[in-house]
Chains A and B, each alone.
Chain A
Amino acid sequence: MPFEALVAGCLAYVALLFGVAFAADRAAQRGHVRWLDHPAVYTLSLSVYCSAWTFYGAVGYASRSGLEFATIYIGPTIVFTGAWWGLRRLVRVARMHHVTSIADLISARFGKSNPLAALITLIAVIAATPYIALQLQSVSLSFEVFATQSPNAPKIGGGTALWVAAGLALFAILFGTRNLDADERHHGVVTAIALEAVVKLVAFLALGIFVVWGLADGPGDIVSRISSAAADPTREGWILRPDRWTALNIVSAAAVLTLPRMFQVMVVEAADEERLHVAGWAFPAYLFAMSLFVLPIAVVGAEILPAGANPDLYMLTLPQASGQNLLALLVFLGGFSAATSMVVVSAIALATMISNHWLTPLWLFLRRRPAGDDPEDLRGFVLNARRLAIVAVAGAGWVYHQASGGATALAAMGLVAFTGMAQVLPAMLGGLLWRGANRMGAYAGVGIGFALWLALIFLPSIGIGSALVPGPEVDPLTFAIFLSLACNTLAFISLSIFGFPDPVERLQGLSFVNTVQPFSHSRHTRADDRAEPLLAMARRVWGADAALHYFRSRAAAQGKSGYLPDLTPDFLTGLERRLAGSVGAATAHAMIERVAGGMSLTVSDLMEVADEAQRAKEEAQRLETASAELERIARQLREANDKLTALSVQKDAFLGQISHELRTPMTSVRAFSEILSTPDLSDAERMRFAGIIHNEAERLTRLLDDLLDLSVLESGNAQIAVSGANLHDLISRALSATSAIRPERVFTIDRDIPSEHQGVITDSDRLLQVLINVIGNARKYCDAERPELKIRVDRRTRNGPQIDISDNGSGIDIARQSLIFEKFARLNEPSRAGGAGLGLAICREIMTALGGDISYLPGQGGAAFRITLPKRPPTTARAKKS
């Protein structure tokens, strides 16, 4: 088969994967997640378990060690069929806590301890690097198989691995770090992986069928060939050893739970635990299909191919030797799929762990200011940290591949990774099943297991030191597995028994073990003024719109209007969990503590919660929904009532205020006009007093104009003259019209001109009036030393275009934010600056008349207003009334 055809087929396949991932991401963005969340997609994505090691290496493994290869399939099958209820619990608890990785799970369970997560991340990175190298090696080896056949093929070597590593890193970055959702799901990646799973399976079955019915004479013949091969005295590796068999089954069962990539697809990417209903039988079935033909291929390969052929490559060399080029290409794509899906998911999972448990905590530590004050965009930092980590993970795999020279048998490297991650299993199972498990136990268990694994398995595997062999009868790998897991478990249990968990840990333990919602511990909630810094913090993690949306929906659930919910324990716990979905449990906990503060737990809090939990388990669910609903309605009523009372008070006050506003200028006018009639005034005095009369009369006129404007707008009879206008021109006009206000203050104006060029169909004079008012207010009241004005136009909103205008002053304090759009809001204020306080009331009425909205955006640093235009232009219908 021509080498060029292979390269072309391969590139076309890669393009298809990018296309599928892209389409799935787009569909998910538009909310079409039904087929993306289908249990079949979920089950197929689990097949990321079958890396190149299982695809190519299983045949090699079977050639060398007979049926022992099956342990790799049996372990996960036992987990999925025998313990599916346990898996459901794992997924449920993890989703409840918005867990982002295996390290995050353990850290969340053991008191949100970041050092523990960092340690597990370290193990995962060390274990995964050779494993990723192995995948790169399998791809470049399979390329070479084709290249050596084709005389005109270019000389390739490490080059292939580099290109593959770079391409996979790009894929992972494109589809794995697009957003920072609390969900942390990647539909594009998962869908591409599911497609690759199908390719893997089809390729494997096709080759298997060809071998059994094409090369041999059907199943009967194959069985007899296997029997005679097993009887061959030269194959002493084929003799099963019960100790090794048991150890490998345990390790592969552990691996399916703890490998970062498995945790990613099985737990993090799962919509809910219901997917496991199907996956519980379908995934074992997939594994069974993948293992069915391993032994036949191994036996037939050994018979047909020349002695010395690499059994790890039988999958490719068998069809090639039989002249089946298309089948070889299919198998190649299957192996390619196995390798690429493993590297992509591993890179994303490891990058999440590295950024959440190494880089972000480090960054927060280095900048010790409260998170609410950080000017930088944390969201941007986390995403970039992940991208960097993906490149680093893929790069490390490539470097390892280059350095090791690619000599190791495929299976050996895979087992090293499995045994490494298996060290996390005792802490994980203990954390889920045993309330008494504590952090010291987890540290000790994971730490000792890690050290033993390094010394007995990992370092010998790369040629440093040698495996510890207690006697000639004992298999070194089996010995190392049992020793490390036994010491690990023993340390974990004994320190848990003798240690004392801290309160946060105990609460989390209760939640994990009983699979109940995490407890809203009775944090001492304080006044509402901390909701704003929390919003500012959330904004940096999720972006402005998502954060505002979340806060508003939480406030609405409490029956409040606006963006700032009460800091109830429920709200804080929910916020922390959602943040945990983006930056990990430990970091989220630290961030909230820093902003909201004063939330440490006491033992009595804990006892309270424990009692509560017992009672809650019986009655909570039924009552909770009902009482939450009642509470919400009561709250709405209360708020409506308060508002009515306030309105009637306001109505009375309104007349008094109008009286005051009219009488004040009239007082000056009357007094000075009487003074003017006295005979003995100098000309200068006369001029000055006449000037005052003039100014005050103008003030009166302005006030009457405003009142009239407002009453016409409020009555709905305003004339709306709709025409086309350009936002850029309007903003420029508003800026120049306001430049005379406090001209001594030089404002830095920050605009984004290209986005401003946006045509709108509206009453442009009215819109201009609003812009002038808002910008004029900024000029009057912004108290920053170096005043700045930022104007941003966003045209891609669900409504029409929106204009955000913000300054860098001290903003408007919470108590007054709800009042500023009311009439005479500036009354009784130190900085009235001559206005009666009708401007924003008029703006609000104008925007309502135009079909849009104006609102105050809290938590933006200074005073910030959002002017939203409607999607459709206002009709001129109102004009008919007048």
Chain B
Amino acid sequence: MIPDILMIEDEPNIAEAVRFILTREGWSLALHDDGRGGMAAIRNLRPRLVILDLMLPNRSGAEILSELRAESDRSLAGTPVLMLTARGQPAEAAAQADAVMLKPFANDMLCAQVRRMLE
């Protein structure tokens, strides 16, 4: 089954909170917790939306994003990406993302953003 959303996030507690919030709204969610293998997960699962953390071990979210955008498969390369970051200013690395949210976030703002991106 293809999940609606793939979340790439290494902090287990944040991942759990996001999963709780979004599954309550009826979306299905898959999780990957490392920068390494993040791109492979997107390629295999082909989600409708990727929620991507910027600071990941081994491979940063920005690197995964630019690799995704460079994919030859146009529909895969165009997968919508919501970037989450705990850095003060989202760097230009996040420019290729469709939307950026700063941590911490309000739960209903996250829901609204995801709904907007999935519809």
Contact = CB atoms under 8 A, between A and B. Distances in A.
Contacts of A670: 104-106
Contact of A668 (B11, B21, B57, B106): B11
Interface string A300-324: 0000000000000000000000000
Contacts of B86: 659-660, 663-664, 667
Interface in A397-450: none
A473 interface: no
B17 A656 contact: no
Interface in A627-661: 655-656, 659-660
Contacts, number: 62
Interface residue SS majority, chain B = loop
A675 B14 CA distance: 12
Interface string B90-114: 0000000000001111110000000
B106 to A, nearest CB: 7
Interface in A803-836: 827-830, 832
A669 interface: yes
A667 B18 CA distance: 10
B20 interface: yes
Nearest to A658: B88
Interface string A655-697: 1100110011011111110110000000000000000100110
B11 A828 contact: no
Given A664-B14, A664-B86, A671-B104, A828 B21 contact: no
A830 B57 contact: yes
A671 B16 CA distance: 10
Contacts of B58: 830
A104 B47 CA distance: 73
A667 B105 CA distance: 7
B87 interface: yes
B55 interface: yes
A675 B17 contact: yes
Candidate in B21, B86, B106 with the most chain A CB atoms within 10 angstroms: B86
A668 B88 CA distance: 17
B103 A656 contact: no
Contacts of A832: 57
A675 B107 contact: yes
Interface string B61-93: 000000000000000000000000011100000
A664 B60 CA distance: 16
A696 B55 contact: no
A668 B105 CA distance: 10
Contact of A660 (B16, B20, B87, B104): B87
B44 interface: no
Contact of B14 (A668, A674, A830): A668
Interface of A: 655-656, 659-660, 663-664, 666-672, 674-675, 692, 695-696, 827-830, 832
30 contacts: A656-B88, A659-B88, A660-B86, A660-B87, A663-B104, A664-B11, A664-B86, A667-B11, A667-B14, A667-B17, A667-B104, A668-B11, A668-B13, A669-B104, A670-B105, A671-B14, A671-B17, A671-B21, A671-B105, A674-B107, A675-B20, A675-B107, A692-B13, A692-B16, A696-B13, A827-B55, A828-B55, A828-B57, A828-B60, A829-B57
Interface of B: 11, 13-14, 16-18, 20-21, 34, 55, 57-58, 60, 86-88, 102-107
Given A659-B86, A670-B105, A671-B107, 6 more contacts: A656-B87, A660-B87, A664-B11, A671-B17, A675-B107, A830-B58
